[in-house]
Structure 1
Amino acid sequence: MSKRIVIVSGGQLDEELTLSILKDEKSQCIIGVDKGVEFLYAHQIMPSYIVGDFDSVKEEIADYYRNETNVPIREFNPVKDASDTEIAVRLSLTLGCSELIILGATGGRIDHLWANVQTLTIPYKAGVDARIMDSQNMICLIGGGDTHIRKDELYGPYFSVFPLGEEIFGFNIEGARYPLRNHTLTPYDSLCVSNQIAEDEEEVVISFPSGTVILMETRDKREQK
């Protein structure tokens, strides 16, 4: 049985996107992480679990969850060996998730963003469909074999790929505006940024024999209403 868990972390949160995901009936478990708890509190959404060191949460909100609710809280010392988001990801695996959406993992400090991208390796190795999402980006990891991306399912008009730490040999992109054949994907060039599905194609197929690749589906910032 599939189980979707949503982590609400303390980075940038788009209200419309976040609420649409949290209120989706597929979202069976919500984990509030540190400052992300303030978003849940403001929108009267009760989390299933709370994780964090509470170094950036308003004291009255932290006290509310500690004293007036039965929400399980895993509170940690700020001096620890893993980020709050990583701890929440590991909790998600122990809860038996088959799908994991991480919100509030982008915006603000780039070191936090990169740590969150690397943290996707944990659910990926466990066979869990995990992705980071915000209003402009969806980030996931893909492995060796074929990955099909349909035009009508793309999160945005662009996609980019980056190796996760190592060179990827025999890398191919078919059906794209900028195709590749038997390419060596390296971590030190920007060749594979901002590609698109070709106008006359319905899908792109990314294939490579082994390794791990970061896939980003992206779109430009929404115009102000």
Structure 2
Amino acid sequence: MKPPIVEHSEPITLIGGGDVGENDLNLASSVAPTLVAADGGADLAVAQGHMPQAVIGDFDSVSDDVQRLVPPERLFPVREQETTDFDKALRHIHAPLVVGVGFLGGRVDHQLAVLNTLVRRAATPCVLLGAHEVLFHAPPRIELALDPGSVVSLFPLARVNGRSSGLEWPIDQLTFDPSGQIGTSNRSTGPVTLEMDQPGLLVMVPRGAFDLVMQAFRSTRHVPWPAHAG
């Protein structure tokens, strides 16, 4: 197995080339100050006054000007075309958590590819920050200290089962399937706990719950999926 390009004991911010809100990068960097760019995300980072510690991708969208600005030892081209730049970056990062900005919004096909990677790279916990929501792949167990009435949307990318507490409509008797049962627009009745039997479920909560999601992923009770999952 090749060593990771970026390895850190603290969360890492990963910026992509999609929609990045005015405060997205600052919010992510406040909890994950080490910045990595997925290809064209380097242009957005530099434009906002941030120099990435590494740029990973096939380099088909990062500009020549930015490539000249970034120190050459921080440029890591991965030339294969079989995977997306998000996948290339995520699989070359070793950190307890990745906070992604610039991966939600924009083209639907790009977003679907990102969500597919979240599930396939289940052993690398990643939280995506969007304009209206925070999205992540459900780990085996997570506890979220949500306020009552918070929207909790659950969407499967595989056939999955699990259990919940703190949801208005519990999931205990459900089998989620991308072509069948889904769980969008559920609501919290207070703190929420999800326990999943297998990987494959995406969770979306309001953007205002970003700090609570970060607390949950950084809790000593958080255990990620094993390396063979996803």
TM-score range for the pair, normalised by the shorter chain length: 0.7 to 0.9
Q: Contact 1:47–1:71 at 8 Å: present in 2 too?
A: no
Amino acid in structure 1 at the alignment position of 2:97: E
Q: Contact 2:58–2:81 at 8 Å: present in 1 too?
A: no
Find 1:215's aligned residue among 203, 208, 211.
203
For residue 203 of structure 1, give the secondary structure of its aligned residue in structure 2: strand
Change over 3 Å in CA distance of 1:60–1:207 after alignment to 2: closer
Deviation at residue 55 of structure 1 after TM alignment: 2.4
User: Which deviations, in whole Å up to 9, do the C-alpha atoms of 1:140-196 show, x marking residues without a partner?
Assistant: 12244x4322214x9x93111122222x34x44433233344122222246511111
Rounded to whole Å, the distance in 2 between the matches of 1:39 and 1:211 is 32
Rounded to whole Å, the distance in 2 between the matches of 1:122 and 1:189 is 20
Amino acid in structure 2 at the alignment position of 1:72: R
Change over 3 Å in CA distance of 1:33–1:147 after alignment to 2: closer
Q: Contact 2:164–2:170 at 8 Å: present in 1 too?
A: yes
Deviation at residue 56 of structure 1 after TM alignment: 2.6
Q: Contact 1:172–1:206 at 8 Å: present in 2 too?
A: yes
* Runs ≥4 residues deviating over 4 A: none
Alignment partner of 1:179 is 2:170: yes
Amino acid in structure 2 at the alignment position of 1:184: T
Change over 3 Å in CA distance of 1:63–1:130 after alignment to 2: same
For 1:11, the equivalent position in structure 2 comes to 18
Alignment partner of 1:27 is 2:18: no
Change over 3 Å in CA distance of 1:211–1:47 after alignment to 2: closer
Deviation at residue 74 of structure 1 after TM alignment: 1.4
Rounded to whole Å, the distance in 1 between the matches of 2:54 and 2:151 is 35
Alignment partner of 1:161 is 2:154: yes
Amino acid in structure 2 at the alignment position of 1:75: P
Rounded to whole Å, the distance in 1 between the matches of 2:171 and 2:46 is 47
Q: Contact 2:154–2:182 at 8 Å: present in 1 too?
A: no
Q: Contact 1:8–1:32 at 8 Å: present in 2 too?
A: yes
Q: Does 208-217 or 4-13 show the bigger shift?
A: 208-217
For residue 196 of structure 1, give the secondary structure of its aligned residue in structure 2: strand
Unpaired segments ≥5 residues, structure 1:
221-225
Q: Does 29-38 or 211-220 show the bigger shift?
A: 211-220
For 1:223, the equivalent position in structure 2 comes to none
Change over 3 Å in CA distance of 1:123–1:29 after alignment to 2: farther
Q: Contact 2:9–2:96 at 8 Å: present in 1 too?
A: yes
For 1:74, the equivalent position in structure 2 comes to 76
For 2:137, the equivalent position in structure 1 comes to 141
1:82-93 maps to which residues of 2 (within 5 A)?
Answer: 82-93=83-94
Rounded to whole Å, the distance in 1 between the matches of 2:83 and 2:20 is 22
For 1:131, the equivalent position in structure 2 comes to 127
Q: Contact 1:33–1:84 at 8 Å: present in 2 too?
A: yes
The alignment covers a number of residue pairs equal to 201
Query: With structure 2 as the length reference, what TM-score do the two structures score?
Result: 0.75
Deviation at residue 132 of structure 1 after TM alignment: 1.4
